[in-house]
């Protein structure tokens, strides 16, 4: 369990770097863990015991799943050499090598396709774009429950979206059959306390929460306010930062997607026709 290091209003305030809109009602240890999330990018080599891994997966399976389809699976990679090869495929991120476990969350239509084949019945609905979203969403909900569970146990995590940079090689490395696609990686391990990973401020709540209907007015002001706050966050780490520069560069071109501009073809090749 994460230690309660600060008062509830401080915990919410640090997420926005602003006094919370109102004092939090009914604060509890779950809200504390959720709000104290930070991505950890430096790990100790301590192993994650099997019993803990299974607890993360039972938490993941406790997440909602669309129509109880359960169209996801997770692959736990602990072999240092396989982990290093996956790191090389996923943006060469050192923390993948450093941490003891990489969980690869997959969209998995293969299980249901297998059942349909056994009964010789069609499963045409699985071939639509919609079903890929259902499987990606199922995998995301499960993974996020695992993140929350891990953090409640004092472990650190960071998602690896770069697992989608080279899907063919990742599928080969993990022996993924057709109908199974690596959605996102998740590094899990004991945070190296020397990193001092911090709670990153987010956009003001008014930028993302709309009442009754979507209201685009005010976004410029919200973003301007955010630039001040996130600049302060990075300045504390002796770094310059403009969120706008960064996000516009991140999505500025096909090349900036680092191979993920080919995702449509790669999914099709891996058994997701995306009709």
Instruction: Report the distance separating Cα 188 and Cα 102, nearest Å.
Output: 6
Stretch that binds a copy of itself, among 90-98, 167-175, 189-197 (CB under 8 A): 167-175
How many Cβ atoms from other residues are within 10 Å of residue 15's Cβ? 17
By CB under 8 A, the residues from 54 to 73 that bind a copy of itself are: 54-55, 57-70, 72-73
The DSSP output letter for 218 is T
- Minimum distance, C-beta of residue 36 to a copy of itself, in the bound complex (Å): 8
Token pair in block for residue 62: 């406790």
The verdict on 211 binding a copy of itself (CB under 8 A) reads: yes
Indicate whether 6 belongs to the interface with a copy of itself (CB under 8 A): no
Encoded one letter per residue, x for contact with a copy of itself by CB under 8 A and - for no contact, window 111-150 reads: xx-xxx-xx-xxxxxx-xxxx-xx-xx--xx-xxx-xxx-
Nearest residue to 107 via CA among 208, 207, 176 = 176
102 CB burial (10 A radius; 0-12, 13-18, 19+): buried
Residues 214-233 that bind a copy of itself (CB under 8 A): 214-216, 219-220, 223
Binding mask 73-102 vs a copy of itself (x if CB under 8 A, - otherwise)?
A: xxxxxxx--x--------------------
Residue (98 or 202) nearer to a copy of itself, CB: 202
**Residue whose entry in the numeric block shows the structure tokens 């080599």:** 45
Q: How many residues sit in the footprint of a copy of itself (CB under 8 A)?
A: 135
Asked if 269 is part of the footprint of a copy of itself (rule: CB under 8 A), the reply reads no
Residue span 169-208 as binding mask against a copy of itself, x where in contact by CB under 8 A, dash where not: ----xxxxx--x--xx--------------xx-xx-x-xx
Between helix 243-250 and helix 219-235 the angle, nearest 10°, is 100
* Interaction between residue 29 and a copy of itself (CB under 8 A): yes
135: Cβ contacts below 8 Å, ≥ 6 apart: 71, 72, 107, 108, 109, 181, 183
How far is Cα 139 from Cα 176, in angstroms, rounded to an integer? 15
CA distance 194 to 213: 45
Closest to a copy of itself by CB, 90 or 176: 176
Cβ pair 40, 158 in contact under 8 A: yes
CB of 195 to a copy of itself, least distance (A): 16
Only segment of 89-97, 188-196, 261-269 that touches a copy of itself (CB under 8 A):
261-269
Q: Does 261 bind a copy of itself (CB under 8 A)?
A: yes
DSSP-derived secondary structure letter, 180: E
């Amino acid at each position: 369990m994460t230690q309660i290091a600060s008062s509830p209003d401080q915990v919410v305030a640090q997420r926005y770097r602003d006094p919370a809109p109102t004092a939090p009602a009914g604060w509890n240890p779950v809200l504390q863990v959720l709000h104290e999330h930070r991505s950890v990018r430096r790990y100790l080599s301590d192993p994650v015991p099997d019993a803990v891994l299974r607890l993360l997966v039972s938490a993941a399976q406790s997440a909602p799943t669309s129509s109880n389809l359960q169209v996801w699976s997770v692959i736990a990679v602990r072999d240092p050499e396989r982990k290093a090869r996956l790191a090389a495929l996923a943006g060469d991120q050192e923390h993948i090598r450093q941490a003891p476990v990489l969980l690869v969350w997959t969209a998995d239509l293969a299980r249901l396709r297998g059942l349909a084949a056994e009964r010789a019945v069609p499963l045409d609905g699985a071939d639509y774009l919609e079903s890929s979203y259902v499987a990606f969403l199922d995998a995301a909900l499960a993974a996020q429950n695992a993140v929350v569970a891990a953090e409640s146990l004092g472990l650190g995590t960071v998602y690896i979206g770069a697992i989608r940079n080279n899907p063919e090689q990742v599928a080969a490395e993990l022996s993924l059959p057709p109908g199974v696609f690596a959605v996102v990686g998740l590094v899990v391990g004991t945070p190296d306390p020397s990193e001092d990973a911090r709670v990153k401020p987010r956009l003001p709540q008014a930028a993302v929460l709309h009442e009754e209907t979507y209201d685009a007015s005010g976004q410029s002001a919200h973003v301007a306010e955010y630039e001040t706050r996130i600049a302060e966050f990075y300045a504390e780490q002796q770094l310059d930062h403009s969120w706008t520069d960064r996000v516009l560069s991140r999505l500025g071109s096909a090349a900036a997607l680092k191979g993920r501009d080919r995702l449509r073809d790669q999914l099709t090749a891996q058994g997701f026709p995306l009709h």
